[in-house]
């Protein structure tokens, strides 16, 4: 960086005063800074006008102002908010690089909150050879990642062969499982083929887990979590507790469980607490109940990590990485070969079946739906400076078309956003930034 360099920005930059700070958003690159006072605001405005770095430095007449100048430069560099050679380029993940496969509808459990209501195998589930063909087609069309779920994936007798085939084809494999059926031998055999595994453990002990998943499943699931982590697989434990299973000790018990697993795996496991309950087999939360559920789960999460609210937000917003859609358009395939453009397949329309239609057709359809339901084409999101940061919310829960686009002929609208939500979002941006950075 030289004194005669200028900064190039990635698009529109807006500033807003939030309490004692200035929130600065680069709209088109979904990036932001937080300025500490009016003087830093003046400095940044000079850079936005195209002034050279050396010329802007001349404004800083005192040691304190020169310190603020250097802090601003450090922030811009660290966040890649602007560059001296060319504007930052926004990046968005390609929707057609990932495939979500429900390997079977069969499940060994009958969880109350299961939105798939899994249990019995479908009569016409795809054979191993048919799954191989799907995987080949996906890879040939640029596929990179495949996630296997169910039901319980291991209830498909060919699960191991399909997982190995996907890996050997060159795909990165993720498996979502309840963890109960895995033997030690199976874990050791498949660990080298699985990049990431998520195990559902829906309680803090045998009793609370049994309220959701039935008796005798807790310990085997926890052992699966620990073993996969020890085998070097990226491992997470996903927990969705019922409101009726919570009491004053739940947070403390969850913390003890987390600490136990961490101690046995040298911190090799990440922990995800669901904060929203989808409609399931025996569970239907109203919107107000889900709001209470969110707050309760957040308080439990913060007993484990008091900074989780901020760290999770920052981890989900990589600088210059835009989020234009919640993911609608990504392919999900039911065990009978029916194809959907969201993994909540019971709530959106089917686009056809892979037995009769090449996979490329569905990938093309997915790209088109992803684009036309992006924030650029949705009201009022398309005019909001937060659009590439919040992505416009869930296309099922928060829009007028409820994730269904085949027969919808109206204007795509986000119907849940409020000024209160946007204010909270901006404040979370400031607080999360200040949590992570100290320049």
- Single out the residue in 287, 315, 343 at which a domain terminates: 315
Query: Do 221 and 145 belong to one domain?
Result: yes
Mean pLDDT over the full length of the chain: 95
pLDDT at residue 13 in the model: 98
Of 285, 315, 345, the position where a domain reaches its end is: 315
d(C-alpha 108, C-alpha 155), whole Å: 7
pLDDT interval class at 439 (50, 70, 90): confident
Q: Are 138 and 76 members of one domain?
A: no
Q: In this structure, are 83 and 42 located in the same domain?
A: yes
pLDDT tens across 141-184, in order?
Answer: 999 999 999 999 999 999 999 999 999 999 999 999 999 999 99
Q: Give me the number of domains the chain comprises.
A: 3
pTM of the model: 0.93
pLDDT tens by residue, 400-434: 999 999 989 999 999 999 999 999 999 999 999 99
Task: Give the pLDDT confidence score for residue 419 in this predicted structure.
Answer: 96
Q: Are residues 29 and 50 in the same domain?
A: yes
State the pLDDT confidence band at 280, using cuts at 50, 70 and 90.
confident
Structure tokens at 361: 């057709």
Whether 131 and 225 map to the same domain: the answer is: yes
Mean pLDDT of 339-360: 97
Which of 38, 64, 90 represents a domain boundary (last residue)? 90
Q: Is residue 331 part of a domain?
A: no
The reply to whether 106 and 217 lie within a common domain is yes
Dihedral (Cα; 301, 175, 204, 228), 10-degree rounding: -100
Buried-exposed string 140-168: b where 16+ CB fall within 10 A, e elsewhere: ebebebbbbbbbbbbbbebbeebbbbbbe
Q: What share of the chain is helix, strand, coil (3-state, %, to 5)?
A: 40, 15, 45
pLDDT at 112: 83
Assess if residue 342 is contained within a domain: no
Q: pLDDT tens digits for 200-243?
A: 999 999 999 998 898 999 999 999 999 999 999 999 999 999 99
The reply to whether 288 and 412 lie within a common domain is: no
Q: Which structural domain range is residue 415 located in?
A: 373-439
Is residue 354 situated within a structural domain? Answer: no
Same domain, 164 and 293: yes
SS3 category, 247 = coil
Is 33 within the bounds of a domain? yes
Position 362 in a domain: no
The answer to the question of residue 224 being in a domain is yes
| Same domain as 165, residue 223 | yes
The number of angstroms, rounded, from the C-alpha of 144 to the middle of its chain's C-alpha atoms is 17
In a domain, 32, yes or no: yes
Same-domain status, 242 and 284: yes
Predicted pLDDT of residue 34: 98
CATH number at residue 224: 3.20.20.70
Q: Do 159 and 295 belong together in one domain?
A: yes
Residue at 352 is within a domain: no
Both 67 and 163 in a single domain?
Answer: no
CA–CA distance, 173 with 30 (Å, rounded to integer): 29
pLDDT of residue 281: 85
């Amino acid at each position: 960086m030289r004194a005669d360099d200028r900064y190039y920005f990635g698009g529109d930059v807006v500033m807003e005063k939030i309490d004692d700070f200035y929130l600065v958003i680069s709209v088109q690159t979904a990036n932001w800074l937080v300025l500490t006072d009016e003087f830093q605001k003046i400095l940044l405005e000079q850079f936005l006008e195209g002034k050279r770095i050396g010329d802007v430095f001349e404004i800083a007449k005192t040691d304190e102002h020169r310190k603020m100048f250097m802090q601003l430069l450090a922030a811009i560099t660290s966040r890649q908010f602007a560059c001296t050679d060319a504007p930052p380029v926004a990046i968005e993940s390609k929707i057609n690089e990932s495939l979500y496969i429900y390997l079977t509808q069969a499940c060994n459990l009958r969880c109350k909150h299961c939105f798939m209501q899994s249990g019995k195998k479908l009569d016409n589930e795809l054979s191993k050879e048919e799954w191989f063909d799907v995987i080949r087609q996906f890879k040939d069309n640029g596929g990179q990642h495949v996630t296997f779920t169910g039901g319980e994936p291991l209830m498909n007798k060919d699960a191991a062969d399909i997982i190995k085939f996907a890996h050997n084809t060159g795909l990165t494999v993720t498996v979502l499982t309840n963890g109960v059926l895995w033997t030690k031998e199976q874990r050791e055999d498949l660990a080298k083929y699985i990049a990431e595994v998520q195990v559902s453990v829906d309680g803090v002990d045998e009793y609370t887990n049994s309220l959701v998943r039935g008796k005798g499943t807790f310990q085997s699931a926890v052992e699966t979590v620990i073993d996969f982590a020890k085998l070097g697989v990226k491992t997470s434990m996903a927990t969705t507790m019922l409101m009726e299973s919570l009491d004053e000790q739940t947070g403390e018990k969850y913390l003890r469980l987390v600490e136990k697993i961490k101690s046995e795996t040298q911190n090799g496991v990440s922990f995800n607490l669901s904060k929203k309950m989808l409609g399931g087999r025996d569970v239907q939360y109203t919107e107000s109940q889900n709001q209470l559920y969110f707050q309760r789960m957040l308080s439990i999460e913060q007993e484990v990590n008091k900074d989780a609210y901020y760290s999770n937000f920052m981890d989900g917003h990589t600088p210059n990485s835009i989020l234009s859609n919640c993911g609608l358009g990504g392919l999900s395939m039911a065990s009978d070969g029916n194809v959907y453009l969201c993994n909540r397949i019971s709530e959106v329309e089917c686009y056809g079946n892979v037995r009769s239609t090449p996979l490329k057709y569905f990938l093309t359809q997915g790209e088109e739906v992803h684009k036309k339901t992006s924030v650029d084409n949705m009201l009022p999101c398309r005019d909001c400076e937060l659009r590439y940061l919040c992505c416009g919310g869930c296309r099922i829960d928060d829009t007028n078309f409820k994730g269904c686009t085949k027969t919808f002929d109206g204007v795509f609208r986000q119907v849940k956003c409020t000024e209160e939500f946007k204010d909270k979002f901006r404040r979370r941006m400031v607080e999360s930034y200040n949590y992570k950075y100290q320049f």
